[in-house]
């Protein structure tokens, strides 16, 4: 691509002037933590970390074997084998406060198993899918959503009235819930009833703040 543009007489300066990149929702990341985790990942070493669990508002010290760095929605994560929980977990690097590389080889996870766990369900949260979300988007919104890939295994159809029916597998509904809510009245959760109830509850609570 660069060679093609240069052949047309378009240098890097002109390209930089004509391309704008925005980073909405990008969280602050301590460079030292990123460098240490990246080094441990490449050199295949175990790492002792202190991780902040925002949901439980607690800090947990654990040893992890980093498997791969993930850049997702303008933020960095590490997919790792957690020696404390004896399983694969994903951690936001911005929530890792202390890092110590250990002189111990990382526990290796089979690539197929890593993909099965980390990519088997919707979003960044690891885990094999336990349910399918069935979402119906309005005719107005359908023209945009049908061009989006929510998950590699998603199922989608256009209904006779122009609405868009989307089915996606998930294991943890936190990220999915947020993505559903951003569409407001242009989306309806049909199944499962637990997810439908959570969306309804959140919307009613939001309306209550404006009464």
Pick from 96, 118, 140: which residue ends a domain? 118
Distance of alpha carbon 167 from alpha carbon 152, whole angstroms: 11
Are residue 153 and residue 107 in the same domain, yes or no? no
Tell me the percentage of the chain whose pLDDT exceeds 70.
87
Query: Could you tell me the two tokens for 106?
Result: 């990382």
Domain of residue 145 covers 131-208
> Mind giving me the DSSP string for 31-69?
HHHHHHHHHHHHHTEEEEEEEEETTTTEEEEEEEEEEEE
- Residue range 1-13, pLDDT digits in tens: 566 656 666 667 7
Are residue 100 and residue 144 in the same domain, yes or no? no
Which position has the higher pLDDT, 138 or 51?
138
Are residue 157 and residue 101 in the same domain, yes or no? no
Task: Tell me the helices (H) and strands (E) count for the chain, helix number first.
Answer: 7, 9
Asked if residue 40 is part of any domain, the answer here is yes
Asked if residue 162 is part of any domain, the answer here is yes
Q: Which residues contact 181 (CB under 8 A, 6 or more apart)?
A: 199, 202, 203
Q: Which residues contact 154 (CB under 8 A, 6 or more apart)?
A: 166, 167, 168, 169
Are residue 179 and residue 147 in the same domain, yes or no? yes
pLDDT at position 116: 86
CATH code of the domain covering residue 53? 2.30.30.530
**Are 176 and 195 a contacting pair, CB within 8 Å?**
yes
Q: Which residues of 165-188 are buried (b: 16+ CB within 10 A; e: fewer)?
A: ebbbbbbbbebbbeebeeeeebbe
Are residue 36 and residue 97 in the same domain, yes or no? yes
Are residue 151 and residue 198 in the same domain, yes or no? yes
Distance of alpha carbon 37 from alpha carbon 45, whole angstroms: 9
Pick from 118, 152, 185: which residue ends a domain? 118
Element (H, E) at 137: strand 131-137
pLDDT of 97 higher than 60: yes
Are residue 99 and residue 166 in the same domain, yes or no? no
> 21-25, 77-81, 125-129, 130-134: which range is least confident on average?
21-25
Asked if residue 26 is part of any domain, the answer here is no
CATH code of the domain covering residue 139? 3.30.70
Task: Report residue 23's pLDDT band, with 50, 70 and 90 as the boundaries.
Answer: low
Asked if residue 13 is part of any domain, the answer here is no
Are residue 110 and residue 146 in the same domain, yes or no? no
* Total count of domains within the chain: 2
pLDDT at position 120: 82
**Are 75 and 94 a contacting pair, CB within 8 Å?**
yes
Are residue 136 and residue 113 in the same domain, yes or no? no
- Residue range 82-96, pLDDT digits in tens: 999 999 998 989 889
Q: CA dist 109 to 66, 78, 206, Å?
A: 10, 14, 42
> 15-24, 44-53, 109-118: which range is least confident on average?
15-24
Asked if residue 136 is part of any domain, the answer here is yes
């Amino acid at each position: 691509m660069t060679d093609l543009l240069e052949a047309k007489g378009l240098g890097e300066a002109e390209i930089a002037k004509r391309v704008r990149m925005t980073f909405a929702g990008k969280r602050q990341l301590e460079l030292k933590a990123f460098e240490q985790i990246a080094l441990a990942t490449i050199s295949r070493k175990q790492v002792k970390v202190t991780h902040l669990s925002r949901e439980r508002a607690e800090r947990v010290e654990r040893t992890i074997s980093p498997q791969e760095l993930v850049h997702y929605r303008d933020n960095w994560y590490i997919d790792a084998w957690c020696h404390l929980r004896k399983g694969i977990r994903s951690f936001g690097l911005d929530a890792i406060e202390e890092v110590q590389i250990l002189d111990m080889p990382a526990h290796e996870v089979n690539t197929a198993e890593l993909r099965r766990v980390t990519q088997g369900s919707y979003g960044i949260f690891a885990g094999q899918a336990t349910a399918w979300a069935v979402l119906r988007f309005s005719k107005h919104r359908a023209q945009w959503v049908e061009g989006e890939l929510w998950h590699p295994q998603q199922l989608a159809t256009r209904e006779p009235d122009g609405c868009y029916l989307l089915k996606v597998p998930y294991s943890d509904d936190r990220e999915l819930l947020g993505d559903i809510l951003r569409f407001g009245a242009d989306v309806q959760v049909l199944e499962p009833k637990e997810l439908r109830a959570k969306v309804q509850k959140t919307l009613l609570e939001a309306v209550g703040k404006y009464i």
